[in-house]
Amino acid sequence: MRWGEIIRRLVLIPPTLFGVCVIVFVLLRVVPGDPIAMMIPPGASPADIDRLRAFYGLDQSILQQFITWLGQALTGNFGRSISLHQNVFELVLARLPATLELSLLATLIATALGVMVALTGVYVRGRRLEWAIDGGIGVFLAIPDFLWALILLLLFGVLIPLLPISGRIDPQLDVAFRTNFYLVESLLTGRLDVALALLQHMILPAVALALPFAALVARLLKASLAEAEDQDYAQIARARGFSRPAILWREVFPNALIPTVALGGVQVTLLLGGTVLVERIFSYEGIGNMAIDAVINRDFPLIQGLILTFAVLFIALNLAVDLLVRLLDPRLRHG
Amino acid sequence: MADLTLSGPIERPSRWLASVARGGTRLWCGGTLVGILFLIALLAPLLAPHDPIEQDLLAAQLPPAWIQGGEWTYPLGTDSLGRCVLSRLMYAARTAVAVALIAASLAAAIGIAFGLIAGMFGGWIDQGVSRLIDVWMAFPPVLLSIVLAAVIGAGLTSVIAAIVVVDWTRFARVVRAETMVQLQRDYAAAARVLGLSRGQILRLEILPNLVPLIVTLLAVEMGIAILVEVILSFVGISVAGDVPTWGGMIVEGRQIVYQSPWIMALPIVSVILSVIGFNLLGDGLRAALDPVQRR
């Protein structure tokens, strides 16, 4: 991708985000459920209800509401959550680190697993084992993250109770964190016991998110590895007497990486979207879990804020992947 | 498959049989799984040993029959209200198949229409459709379907609508790209030279060549539709309580997972088998129908 293309993509971001805002806004306003009805105590007078409605700006027309919201959003004010009575921006910011840590851990697991499976798959090319590996990849690809979450919960939470199945950290463990990046912070400050406790909570949801993605990485990488191994340079290395593992790892792998990053990187967004349900299943306190609560409570400002957060993350990820491919691919370096 | 090659006088194999052979094991396994699913869905009232909503509170949370404490009147045990799990699984298959068929076909129809138009006419129409798809792709799909289902309210229609609105882009993107590729081919140019109108080229030339691709996508989409129903059940906005669905059963099982894990495990197994079935079928069909491999 050339720089001009990247600039074009950057220019397209604001209109895309604007489109997301418009769709969410309109969609939410045709909801039959009334958020005010969910927050008033029984016996509230109509005047009270009207006052609340006016307080949240829900008495105005959709267009007016949108203009007000957009004007405030541009200055970083995303309104107040109706169900949690707090600033949306602060709420999202407090929960976002939990989701980011989980997604990052899942991506790391998936990459490591995918690379291992792909290398093994190519190494046993043409043998029966390859057939089994391909079949396995197909199965892992077909079953989505939230089903893995349920399966893992059943296996390691209930049948063989090895790991905790809810929350981000044990409530008894009373640790004061300065940031909301609990895992990163505990690792940086050397609190390994805390890090371990955090990891115990994160490992099941992270593996659930990682498995389908690992299968995707394995499939893409295996195909590129096989293609790269048939190229002349790999054959020459073979002829010069290098062992097959050495060729695969040092010659073929770096070249096969580029298409995998290009195609697979974009799919990280799928993993990120998967956090919504996986967090819910493991009662993990990230933005995904929060989003489901927000929908159930008809908390308009919070839903808007959360969807916008996801949209920004999606777009940023796509762009980051494009830049990464550019960095990895020597052919594109002097575009 | 061995039978096919041995039976009868050896002539040129029919194209249909050759296709099936090319689909291979995946086509067979996928076809069998999906076939069983459709059969169970169709024959649920005949096959089910009990009424799926009939409660027997004295026989609540029985384990499957082969486990200690189980009874053969309830082969797969009962749930917390004493309803027969096997019967509920079978009736839930009906809901799953209905959702899969309707939602996937509608998503396909809308997506194909957008994709064909964008691919055929190009220019500002293509720009418009592409931007629309961009905006759609910026949403987390799970969240979008949840918001949508919340908007429309619980019920089968809402589940189907959520799937269609979220997933039409799957078809639109692929069909748009493939239409553009096909239009570059010589046969499309020949059709233009013959004086066919754009509409005729689309209908008579392009669309038939897109069929393998669309059939594959459709099979995979049906699996996805079944999954979306489970997702929506998880958020409590799927089909109403009386209708048994796999998603609903999983959610109910989750609440008593420590006492009776099988209540959650059995519908999960059903969902997984169906989804794998649809995926294998899609893979097999792609191999069987691919015009490039046909030669």
Complex ipTM value: 0.77
Q: Which two tokens stand for residue B113?
A: 């229409």
Which residues does chain A have within 8 Å of residue B137's beta carbon, measured at their own beta carbons?
A: 314
Please answer yes or no on whether A277 and B280 come within 8 Å at the CB atom.
Answer: no
Nearest-angstrom CA–CA distance, B70 and B242: 25
Dihedral of CA atoms B110, B114, B116, B119 in degrees, nearest 10, equals -160
**Element at B45 (helix H, strand E):** helix B15-47
Residue of B nearest to A287 (CA): B143
Give the DSSP letter string of B225-286: HHHHHHHHHHTT-SS-TTS--HHHHHHHHHHTTTT-THHHHHHHHHHHHHHHHHHHHHHHHH
Whether A335 shows a pLDDT value over 50: the answer reads no
Instruction: Report the residue from A16, A151, A295 with minimal CB separation from B268.
Output: A151
| In the predicted structure, residue A252 carries a pLDDT above the cut 50 | yes
Q: In whole numbers, what is the pLDDT of chain B averaged over residues?
A: 81
Residues B261-275: tens digit of each pLDDT: 888 889 999 999 999
Judged by DSSP in three states, A285 sits in: coil
Question: What is chain A's mean pLDDT, rounded?
Answer: 82
The residues that bridge with A80 in the sheet, in sequence order, are A87
Crossing angle, helix B141-152 and helix B207-234, to 10 degrees? 70
Q: Hey, are the CB atoms on B272 and A143 less than 8 Å from each other? A: yes
Percent of chain A with pLDDT over 90: 11
Instruction: Read off the pLDDT band of B19 (50, 70, 90).
Output: low
Q: How far apart are CA B133 and CA B139, in angstroms?
A: 10
Cα A327 from Cα B122, distance rounded (Å): 32
**Subunit contact A138:B280, Cβ cutoff 8 A:** yes
**Closest-CA residue of chain B to A144:** B227
pLDDT in tens, A135-144: 889 888 888 8
Query: Helix or strand or coil: residue B290?
Result: coil
Could you tell me the pLDDT band of residue A211, with boundaries at 50, 70 and 90? very high
pLDDT in tens, A173-203: 667 777 778 788 888 887 878 888 888 888 9
Distance from CA of B191 to the nearest CA of A (A): 35
| B96-125 pLDDT tens trace | 899 899 999 999 999 999 988 888 887 888
Instruction: State pTM to two decimals.
Output: 0.80
Q: Do A147 and B143 touch (CB under 8 A)?
A: no
Cα distances (Å, whole numbers) of residue B85 to B91, B245, B264: 10, 11, 10
Give the mean pLDDT of A58-74. Answer: 78
Whether pLDDT at B218 is above 80: yes
Q: Which of A8-22, A249-263, A320-334, B211-225 has the lowest mean pLDDT?
A: A320-334
Residue B43 structure tokens? 């024959």
DSSP, res B58? G
- Tally Cβ neighbours within 10 Å of residue A276: 29
Give the Cα separation of B206 and B115 in Å (integer): 12
Nearest CB neighbour to B143, from listed A146, A151, A291: A291
- Domain ranges across chain B: 39-294
Q: Which residues contact A24 (CB under 8 A, 6 or more apart)?
A: A303, A304, A307, A308, B147
Inter-chain residue contact B264 with A150, CB threshold 8 Å = yes
Higher per-residue confidence, A21 vs B1? A21
Within 10 angstroms of residue B172's Cβ, the number of other Cβ atoms is 27
Domain annotation for chain A: domains and CATH numbers? 3-74 (no CATH), 91-330 (1.10.3720.10)
* Contact yes or no for A16 and B135 at CB 8 A: yes
Task: Please check whether the domain covering B39-294 is classified as CATH 1.10.3720.10.
Answer: yes
CA distance linking residue B7 with residue B10, whole number of Å: 8
